Structure 1
Amino acid sequence: MARERVDGMVVREQFQQLLENHRGIVLKVAHAYCGHAEDRRDLAQEIAAQAWKGFRGYDPARPFSTWLYRIALNVAISHLRASRGREPLAFDEIAEPAHDEDTPREADDGIRALYRCIERLDPLNRALMLLYLDERGQREIGEILGLSETNVATRIGRLKQRIREQLSPTDRY
């Protein structure tokens, strides 16, 4: 019994440390799929809870970030489907970049326009863009979303083209 308690504590501490080191993933996904701060907190908690439930199945030989992204996106998409119709999705806070004196105001407007385009994407394409903007490689994106590398490359190319077409010339940066 004491051995189980020690092992359980070690596993919990290991999980907590990994989750803390990768909390940005959870926050990015929550921001991408929820428009209100309270909903983002709820989604982040649900992602953490589901990650903890599945942690015993995590293979340490693989990147934790890939594993966590897969869980976070699955939870977020399920959450989105369950809440469909209750609230419009919006990138309220994410689309409001902090104004930096070195950054021209036009760049802020371009970022807001980009996020408006992304917010209109279906859940899979939104996940693709989130991972792409997070500079994940095509192989990792495919692994997270269950797509081939070729499919990822094709979809990203099409999404980029669609977003370019949706942005007016003044929105582009």
Structure 2
Amino acid sequence: MSKDFYTQFILPYAGIIIKICRAYTDNEEDFQDYYQEVCLQLWKSRDNFKGDSKWSTWVYRISLNVSLSLLRKDKKVNKNSIVLPDVEDEHTVNPFNDEALKILYQAIKELSETDRAIILLYLEEKSYQEIAEIIGLSPNNIGVKITRIKKKLKTLLDGKIY
């Protein structure tokens, strides 16, 4: 992957990738693995981007697909693997510091995979139409799901975040 591609097409959208990877991981090591795999897949799939949607929509789709694939794979793999130390650089982000965010993301992780993706896009202030395009549902269905997800999160978070 060229530095130019990373600087132009990944770094400006790192917030999207971080939020999605964070919602599907429980620790820094897994987060870094997911983040790196998303970046690699964005680079590999760059020629498949036809411009029918925004690049940010493409980043969401790739991030969600990669995270869901890795999550399913991780469920099947034995976790007794060797963990290599992280190599930190100027772009390394540790999204596991703020306690309230940890609690929120823990509640989000209790949602189904689809609901998790929907609420993450909603928290990114995406329109129902944009969420529908990314997820593959109708905008009306997205609206109904968001209302239900909010209620479920409120129940899950009741008394945990002040």
TM bin (shorter chain): 0.7 to 0.9
Q: Is the 8 A contact 2:21 2:35 kept in 1?
A: yes
Q: Which residue of 2 aligns with 1:137?
A: 127
The question of 1:13 aligning with 2:14 is answered: no
**Whole-Å Cα distance in 1 between the matches of residues 46 and 95 of structure 2?**
29
Q: Is the 8 A contact 2:22 2:95 kept in 1?
A: yes
Cα gap change, 1:40/1:114 in structure 2, threshold over 3 Å: closer, same or farther? closer
Q: Which residue of 2 aligns with 1:97?
A: 98
1:35 counterpart SS class: coil
Q: Is the 8 A contact 1:95 1:115 kept in 2?
A: no
TM-score, normalised to structure 1's length?
0.73
Aligned residue pairs total 146
Alpha-carbon distance, 1:172 to partner: 6.0
Alpha-carbon distance, 1:36 to partner: 1.5
**Whole-Å Cα distance in 2 between the matches of residues 161 and 140 of structure 1?**
22
Q: Which residue of 2 aligns with 1:124?
A: 114
1:62 counterpart SS class: coil
Q: Which residue of 1 aligns with 2:13?
A: 22
Q: Is the 8 A contact 2:21 2:34 kept in 1?
A: yes
Alpha-carbon distance, 1:114 to partner: 3.2
State the AA in 2 paired with 1:119. Answer: K
2:38 to 13, 24, 47: 47
**Whole-Å Cα distance in 2 between the matches of residues 167 and 37 of structure 1?**
23
Q: Is the 8 A contact 1:131 1:141 kept in 2?
A: yes
State the AA in 2 paired with 1:72. Answer: S
2:62 to 54, 58, 71: 71
Alpha-carbon distance, 1:122 to partner: 1.7
Alpha-carbon distance, 1:116 to partner: 2.7
Q: Which residue of 2 aligns with 1:104?
A: none
State the AA in 2 paired with 1:144. Answer: I
Q: CA RMSD in A?
A: 2.4
Cα gap change, 1:112/1:25 in structure 2, threshold over 3 Å: closer, same or farther? closer
Q: Deviation digits for residues 63-82 of structure 1, max 9, x if unmatched?
A: 11011100100010011111
Structure 2: runs of 5+ lacking an equivalent: 80-93
**Whole-Å Cα distance in 2 between the matches of residues 124 and 151 of structure 1?**
12
TM-score, normalised to structure 2's length?
0.78
Q: Is the 8 A contact 2:23 2:109 kept in 1?
A: yes
Structure 1: runs of 5+ lacking an equivalent: 1-8, 88-92, 99-107
